[in-house]
């Protein structure tokens, strides 16, 4: 029996959470250190697992584990990874230890148990790994819903002003989406039972079902709306700015950097392969929603006065790009979207954490309360600039690669949508550079004079993200080599092909072809 990589990676943070909760009350510092240890171990294991991942394998999933769970309903504990899920699991286990380092002082006993805060972060890590690794759709649903519990308490108990309203709004939106998904899941089980004689939730089996197109359209909507709420895509987005603004910076990073990716992951890994006809049918409408989201999120970000709400609205715009690439249904678009999920996690994560450092020093979330920070904290201002430039997809940073692939892949099928979406790049330059100008440049604002520069532990949390953004911007090939075979498989499962070039090479037709043949014959004759 092979080593259970995915189960081990998922269980270790859960064990760490229980160990932390069993510590005496006065063990806050020990709890934080243990949280770092129990979050670093999964990172080491994922690196070791990734080194053994075979990007050229013909198997749909690798590191597979499968055990019967509820036999009477065909439910099993089945996990495995392909290139898409591996990248997102890696994103999760990288961000959690960095968030713990950055969130060292985010919780205090006045909010609630400090031990509880770090235990919840570890529990959330377990669920994030589980949802990306699940190859049984019912198991996916269990992890999908289970994530709500730690996030609800992280927002509602440890957040700032408005935390209770934001936590309840987040929970209600997510529960509605989960209810729709459950109804569609039951319908999918019934359809599989009718076709196979026995119901199943196995992903591979479900992708090979011959589901009636009309039934597909109904079931697709149940899954898609749940994922659109989680992502979130316009018009299902209104919970995100409230939740991000009320959360601690660390919680906001995991909320926007990883949890929201569950929505877009579900779209590309479940909606498209299981419901190919419905995906093609609804694609034009979803493309329109994505383009609207790109422009809407960017425009609202420009006018925000709250740092965290501004970053949240930029994410709504970015998720529009991710959805655009997925439903363009081209290899470039889907590879770009998957790579975008990874890059967005790092760039937005860095922005949220740096915003948290600023708020800790100044005691304010208002953009107007900052100014001239580069004079008193030049390193902090420089790191903020790099993270911001990545958010606007500056060439040389990895976000540029993913956004370029999305737009090129979309242009092949939806030219007008791609052209309009490029306006989002211009708007991104406005909201990022305008934000930097207002907060970092100019004379030092009152209240910022004594602001200290970034410290060792803070730098340790931020610099790895920025290093990855630069490294993958210069050399994205290792990650794209992992993603591309999985995307090719999704394209095959959905029956989609990249459009043929509109203009054939001159040497392939007509007089040009004859002339080319004549020249070749002349050259060969001269050579003889």
pLDDT digits (tens, 9 = 90+) for 482-492: 999 999 999 99
Angle, vertex CA 288, rays to CA 285 and CA 291, nearest 5: 155
Q: Distance between terminal CA atoms of the chain? A: 63
What is the pLDDT at residue 504? 57
- Summarize pLDDT for 180-225 with one digit per residue, the tens: 999 999 999 999 999 998 889 999 999 999 999 999 999 999 999 9
What is the pLDDT at residue 111? 64
In this model, does residue 514 exceed pLDDT 70? no
Structure token digits, residue 289: 């929603």
In this model, does residue 522 exceed pLDDT 70? no
- Summarize pLDDT for 292-305 with one digit per residue, the tens: 999 999 999 998 99
Domain that holds residue 387: 5-520
**Mean pLDDT score across all residues of the chain:** 90
Peptide bond preceding 400 in cis form (omega within 30 of 0): no
- Axis crossing angle, helix 378-391 with helix 331-362, rounded to the nearest 10: 150
Average pLDDT over residues 77-100: 96
Structure token digits, residue 57: 């394998």
Within 13 Å and on the Cβ side, how many CA atoms surround 227? 27
Q: Which residue spans within 340-447 are E strands per DSSP?
A: none
In this model, does residue 346 exceed pLDDT 80? yes
Q: Which residue would you say has higher pLDDT here, 229 or 363?
A: 229
In this structure, is residue 52 part of a structural domain? Answer: yes
In this structure, is residue 527 part of a structural domain? Answer: no
In this structure, is residue 473 part of a structural domain? Answer: yes
What is the pLDDT at residue 26? 80
* Number of other CB atoms surrounding residue 212 within 10 Å: 11
What is the pLDDT at residue 502? 61
Q: How far is Cα 502 from Cα 330, in angstroms, rounded to an integer?
A: 15
- Summarize pLDDT for 146-169 with one digit per residue, the tens: 999 999 999 999 988 889 999 999
What is the pLDDT at residue 528? 42
Q: How far is Cα 267 from Cα 39, in angstroms, rounded to an integer?
A: 28
Q: How far is Cα 62 from Cα 45, in angstroms, rounded to an integer?
A: 15
Query: Which range, of 106-120, 451-465, 467-481, averages the lowest pLDDT?
Result: 106-120
In this structure, is residue 19 part of a structural domain? Answer: yes
In terms of Cα–Cα distance, which of 140, 431, 421 is closest to 298? Answer: 431
Rounded to two decimals, what is the model's pTM? 0.91
R_g over Cα of the chain:
24
Long-range contacts of 373-376 (CB under 8 A, 24+ apart): 373/439, 373/440, 373/444, 373/448, 373/451, 374/440, 374/441, 375/444, 376/444, 376/448, 376/449, 376/450, 376/451, 376/452, 376/453
Residue with tokens 């989680």: 230
Q: How many domains does the chain have?
A: 1
What is the pLDDT at residue 498? 83
Portion of the chain with pLDDT greater than 90, in percent: 78
In this model, does residue 527 exceed pLDDT 90? no
Query: Which residues are bridge partners to 67 per DSSP?
Result: 77
pLDDT band for position 107 (50/70/90)?
Answer: confident
In this structure, is residue 459 part of a structural domain? Answer: yes
Q: How far is Cα 10 from Cα 65, in angstroms, rounded to an integer?
A: 13
Distances from the Cα of 207 to the Cα of 203, 279, 469, angstroms: 6, 13, 34
In this model, does residue 507 exceed pLDDT 50? no
In this structure, is residue 47 part of a structural domain? Answer: yes
What is the pLDDT at residue 524? 44
In this structure, is residue 54 part of a structural domain? Answer: yes
Q: Is 366 helix (H, G, I), strand (E, B) or coil?
A: strand
In this structure, is residue 489 part of a structural domain? Answer: yes
């Amino acid at each position: 029996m092979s080593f259970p990589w995915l189960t081990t990676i998922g269980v270790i943070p859960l064990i760490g959470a229980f160990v932390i909760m069993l510590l005496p009350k006065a063990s806050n510092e020990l709890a934080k250190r243990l949280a770092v240890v129990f979050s670093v171990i999964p990172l080491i294991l994922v690196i070791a697992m990734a080194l053994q991942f075979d990007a050229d394998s013909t198997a749909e999933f690798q590191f597979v584990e499968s055990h019967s769970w509820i036999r009477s309903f065909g439910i099993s504990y089945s996990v495995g990874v392909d290139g898409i899920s591996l990248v997102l699991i890696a994103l999760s286990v990288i961000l959690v230890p960095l968030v713990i380092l950055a969130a060292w002082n985010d919780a205090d006993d006045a909010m609630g148990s400090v031990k509880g805060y770090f235990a919840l972060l570890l529990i959330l890590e377990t669920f994030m790994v589980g949802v990306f690794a699940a190859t049984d759709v019912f198991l996916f649903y269990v992890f999908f819903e289970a994530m709500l519990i730690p996030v609800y308490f992280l927002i509602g108990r440890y957040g700032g002003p408005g935390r209770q309203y934001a936590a309840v709004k987040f929970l209600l939106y997510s529960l509605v989406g989960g209810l729709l998904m459950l109804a569609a899941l039951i319908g999918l089980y019934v359809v599989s039972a009718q076709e196979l004689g026995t119901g199943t939730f196995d992903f591979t089996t479900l992708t090979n079902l011959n589901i009636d197109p009309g039934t597909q359209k109904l079931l697709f909507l149940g899954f898609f709306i749940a994922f659109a709420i989680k992502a979130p895509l316009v018009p299902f987005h209104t919970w995100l700015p409230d939740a991000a603004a009320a959360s601690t910076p660390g919680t906001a990073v995991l909320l926007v950097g990883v949890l929201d990716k569950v929505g877009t992951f579900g779209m590309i890994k479940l909606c498209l392969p299981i419901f190919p006809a419905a995906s093609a049918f609804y694609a034009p409408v979803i493309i329109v929603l994505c383009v609207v989201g790109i422009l809407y999120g960017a425009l609202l970000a420009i006018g925000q006065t709250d740092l965290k709400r501004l970053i949240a609205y930029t994410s709504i715009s970015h998720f529009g790009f991710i959805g655009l690439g997925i439903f363009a249904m081209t290899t470039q678009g889907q590879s770009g979207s998957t790579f975008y999920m990874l890059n967005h996690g790092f760039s937005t994560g860095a922005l949220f954490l740096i915003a948290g450092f600023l708020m800790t020093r100044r005691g304010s979330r208002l953009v107007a309360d900052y100014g001239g920070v580069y004079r008193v904290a030049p390193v902090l201002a420089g790191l903020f600039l790099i993270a911001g430039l990545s958010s606007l997809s500056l060439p040389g940073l990895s976000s540029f690669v993913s956004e370029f692939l999305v737009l090129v892949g979309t242009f092949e099928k939806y030219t007008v949508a791609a052209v309009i979406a490029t306006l989002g790049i211009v708007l991104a330059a406005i909201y990022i550079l305008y934000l930097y100008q207002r907060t970092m440049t100019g004379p030092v604002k009152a209240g910022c004079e004594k602001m200290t520069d970034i410290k060792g532990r803070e730098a340790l949390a931020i610099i790895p993200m920025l290093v990855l953004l630069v490294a993958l911007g210069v050399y994205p090939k290792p990650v794209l080599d992992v993603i591309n075979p999985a995307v090719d498989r999704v394209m095959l499962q959905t029956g989609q092909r990249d459009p043929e070039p509109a203009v054939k090479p001159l040497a392939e037709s007509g007089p040009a072809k004859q002339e080319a043949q004549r020249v070749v014959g002349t050259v060969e004759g001269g050579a003889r």
